[in-house]
């Protein structure tokens, strides 16, 4: 993900120098910013999931809590 963000910043600068289109430059920078926010939220969600799993041992977790953890793990795996 970080490579994509860096590439987007580079492309934005390259297109600004080529076309002098400030609107395109601003748009590409806003996309890069949104990707950075997404990466940060995904990372924080992973930490939250890790701590949620550490709260209770596997055999003491309620069924709905375990199912929610499994769905969250699947979501993180699919997001990569």
Distance CA 46, CA 12 (A): 30
Q: How confident is the model at residue 64 (pLDDT cuts 50, 70, 90)?
A: very high
Q: What is the DSSP code string of 17-58? A: HHH--HHHHHHHHHHHHHHHHHHHHHHHHHHHHHHHHHHS-G
- pTM flag (> 0.75): no
CA angle 72, 79, 32 (to 5 degrees): 130
Q: Tally the domains of the chain.
A: 1
Over the chain, what is the mean pLDDT?
Answer: 90
Instruction: Tell me which residue of 68, 43, 74, 42 sits closest to 55, measured CA to CA.
Output: 68
Structural domain including 57 reads: 2-79
Distance CA 43, CA 50 (A): 11
């Amino acid at each position: 993900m970080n490579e994509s963000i860096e590439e987007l910043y580079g492309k934005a600068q390259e297109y600004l120098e080529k076309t002098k289109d400030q609107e395109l430059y601003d748009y590409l920078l806003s996309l890069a910013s949104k990707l950075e926010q997404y990466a940060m939220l995904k990372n924080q969600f992973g930490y939250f999931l890790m701590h949620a799993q550490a709260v209770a041992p596997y055999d003491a977790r309620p069924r709905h809590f375990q199912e929610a953890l499994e769905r969250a793990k699947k979501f993180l795996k699919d997001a990569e």
